[in-house]
Chains A and B, each alone.
Chain A
Amino acid sequence: GAGVSQSPSNKVTEKGKDVELRCDPISGHTALYWYRQSLGQGLEFLIYFQGNSAPDKSGLPSDRFSAERTGGSVSTLTIQRTQQEDSAVYLCASSLDGGSREQYFGPGTRLTVT
């Protein structure tokens, strides 16, 4: 595709439910990043993929958060047993490779946990 796409654009879920957020990076981009942005705040790094492997998972807040990437393309971020503090915009970005200067961001998924 022309850019990074994410789905769903909005997700409202009840506390305790599991959610899956999807990211489709730009075709050919080997590096993929997940970030979380709370209202009015900066971007919080969650995880970085190079190909299908994740050299850096240091930003995942707890073991309720996990992510995978298959075929060096689509990535899924899963949050289990959601809590209200998980409410935020989840942004995905891709770049040609890990050494690239520029990241291209998707539009984000706004997650609201009630």
Chain B
Amino acid sequence: GQSLEQPSEVTAVEGAIVQINCTYQTSGFYGLSWYQQHDGGAPTFLSYNALDGLEETGRFSSFLSRSDSYGYLLLQELQMKDSASYFCAVKTSGTYKYIFGTGTRLKVLA
């Protein structure tokens, strides 16, 4: 089957750095995406990795290792507004469909 695993919950304090891991097992792979979703809101795109390595976008960075079927999202200088759920998603080859993980709920404490 196809699956993505993420921690269910992570807690950190304002100003800290947090890493959310994602391991995947899918048939076919184009890339790994990360989405943020606040309670009651729609998911919003954060980053996409198609190749191994680190992609940096402001306070957020995302890493991919295709050989390990592993990626992570790194959030720096945490702010209260970063409290949300974070989903990794694999874009599968063949039909371009996405398989989403179950999400990691991030709580940022003052």
Give chain A's interface residues, CB within 8 Å of chain B.
31, 33, 35, 41-45, 48, 50, 55-56, 58-59, 91, 93, 98-99, 101-108
Closest 3 CB pairs of A and B: A98-B96, A56-B95, A101-B48
Alpha-carbon distance A104/B45, docked complex (angstroms): 7
Contact (Cβ within 8 A) A101 B42? no
Give chain B's interface residues, CB within 8 Å of chain A.
31, 33, 41-45, 48, 50, 87, 89, 95-103
Contact (Cβ within 8 A) A105 B43? yes
Q: Which of B45, B96, B100 contacts A50 (CB 8 A)?
A: B96
Contact (Cβ within 8 A) B100 A99? no
Contact (Cβ within 8 A) A45 B33? no
| Closest-CB distance, B22 to chain A (whole angstroms) | 11
Residues of chain B contacted by A91 (CB below 8 angstroms)? 42-43
Q: Which of A101, A105, A107 contacts B31 (CB 8 A)?
A: A101
